[in-house]
Amino acid sequence: MSSLTSTSTTTRSGAPGTTGTGRLPQLRRPLNGMTWLVWRQHRAVFWSVLGASALAVAFIVLQRSQLHTAGYGPTSTGLRLMPILLGVLLGAPLFTGDLENGTAKLVVTQSMSRTRWLTTKLALTALVVVVSTVALSVAFGWWWTLYDESTAWEWTSGPTFDNTGPMPVALALFSVFGGVAIGVVLRRTLVAMVVTLGFTVVVQIVWSHFLAHFLLSLADVVTITTNKGVTFQHVMPTLPPGAHRVNWSNPPYITSDGKLLGWGTCNEVQTEQAHELCMKKADVVGWSVDYLPISQMNGLQWFGASILLALTAAVTAFLFFWGRKRLV
């Protein structure tokens, strides 16, 4: 009889499933302490970012699996807006809400240090940004491989270069952390979001100029030459798959002694025979074409991403310097 009594789940207080003292067993949370607090505080925007990214990835995978390319342009444009949206909606309000409603003062009066508070908020935010952008980068890069060789030059343009590889991650992190820095300095959510909008737009414009006028100039230019003459139809030699013609204003014709002549050579003639005679008189023996091979794309992306990540690290250092003294 005593053994039956000892195995009963009913306690002395009469509440099934409670402990001997009448208290409910404490459930373990997957996140504890400051991490749980930060996640709970910002879970709405975190889940929104992750959910929107998941939907975008699903759309891209669907388009790619059905061999569709019609939505490539609008999707690439949407992905280029992602760093702007993340900076305005996630970065700028990250601390300003706490500063406006007094939560920041409450946090620092507890046992948690400002450094730990900053670290936890920034780390969780960075994790959400990295997970979202990596997924989108991989999916979009997979979709881009559908394009045939005739359009593979697109790898040098912003819509492709900035949306694949490490570039989306670096651009998004710099935009978000820049927005955070703007928020902690201005201390007003709405003002910080407006200023961050301008900041992230300028970042996109400056980066596009940097890509077109500096980053691509660091690539190793490959030159292909021929000595079989130039036909009346001006058919250029076939470049490797994915090659990008560097500059159409460069002199494309080469003479027997290695001199380069421009596009206007013999353009005034009207017949094929006259063209051949003119080319012979100009001593043109073939083509000289400069191009960038697609094999250099990944290296250029990592170089560009390293610049943006270095800037992000500098902004992060500023946040800790400012936050330890003037955040509250």
| Whether 204 and 176 share a structural domain | yes
Residue 276 confidence (pLDDT) above 90:
no
Lowest mean pLDDT among 51-55, 59-63, 76-80, 156-160: 156-160
Lowest mean pLDDT among 36-50, 125-139, 166-180, 222-236: 222-236
| Whether 171 and 59 share a structural domain | yes
What integer pLDDT is reported at residue 4 of this predicted model? Answer: 38
| Whether 199 and 248 share a structural domain | no
Chain segment 245-258, per-residue pLDDT in tens = 777 667 788 888 88
Per the CB < 8 A criterion, the answer to whether 89 and 189 are in contact is no
Please tell me the pTM assigned to this model: 0.79
Q: Which long-range contacts (CB under 8 A, 24 or more apart) does 253-260 make?
A: 253/282, 253/284, 253/286, 253/287, 253/288, 254/225, 254/284, 254/285, 254/286, 254/287, 254/288, 255/282, 255/283, 255/284, 255/285, 256/283, 256/285, 257/283, 260/288
Closest CA to 179 of 171, 115, 325: 171
Q: Report yes or no on 25 lying in a domain.
A: no
Q: How many helices (H) and strands (E) does the chain have?
A: 11, 5
| Whether 57 and 161 share a structural domain | yes
| Whether 198 and 81 share a structural domain | yes
| Whether 144 and 213 share a structural domain | yes
Q: How confident is the model at residue 122 (pLDDT cuts 50, 70, 90)?
A: very high
- Report the pLDDT averaged over residues 225-234: 80
Residue 53 β-bridge partners: none
Residue 292 CA to residue 79 CA, distance in Å, equals: 25
The DSSP letter of residue 256 is T
| Whether 232 and 205 share a structural domain | no
Per the CB < 8 A criterion, the answer to whether 87 and 199 are in contact is yes
Chain segment 294-312, per-residue pLDDT in tens = 888 889 999 999 999 999 9
Chain segment 17-67, per-residue pLDDT in tens = 444 444 444 445 555 577 887 888 888 999 999 999 999 999 999 988 877
Q: Report yes or no on 119 lying in a domain.
A: yes
Q: What residues make up the domain containing 192?
A: 33-219+295-325
| Whether 127 and 151 share a structural domain | yes
Task: Give percent of the chain above pLDDT 90.
Answer: 34
Per the CB < 8 A criterion, the answer to whether 166 and 144 are in contact is no
Q: Report yes or no on 16 lying in a domain.
A: no
Q: Report yes or no on 97 lying in a domain.
A: yes
What integer pLDDT is reported at residue 251 of this predicted model? Answer: 75
| Whether 279 and 188 share a structural domain | no
Q: Report yes or no on 244 lying in a domain.
A: yes
| Whether 148 and 243 share a structural domain | no
Residue 22 backbone zone (phi > 0: left; psi -120 to 50: alpha; other: beta): left
Q: Which residues, at least 6 apart from 328, have a Cβ–Cβ distance to it below 8 Å?
A: 99, 104, 105, 108, 114
- The per-residue pLDDT of the chain, averaged, comes to 81
Residue 180 CA to residue 116 CA, distance in Å, equals: 16
| Whether 121 and 177 share a structural domain | yes
Q: Identify which has the larger pLDDT, 255 or 176.
A: 176
| Whether 273 and 302 share a structural domain | no
Q: How confident is the model at residue 151 (pLDDT cuts 50, 70, 90)?
A: low
The domain total for the chain is 2
Task: Give percent of the chain above pLDDT 70.
Answer: 83
What integer pLDDT is reported at residue 12 of this predicted model? Answer: 41
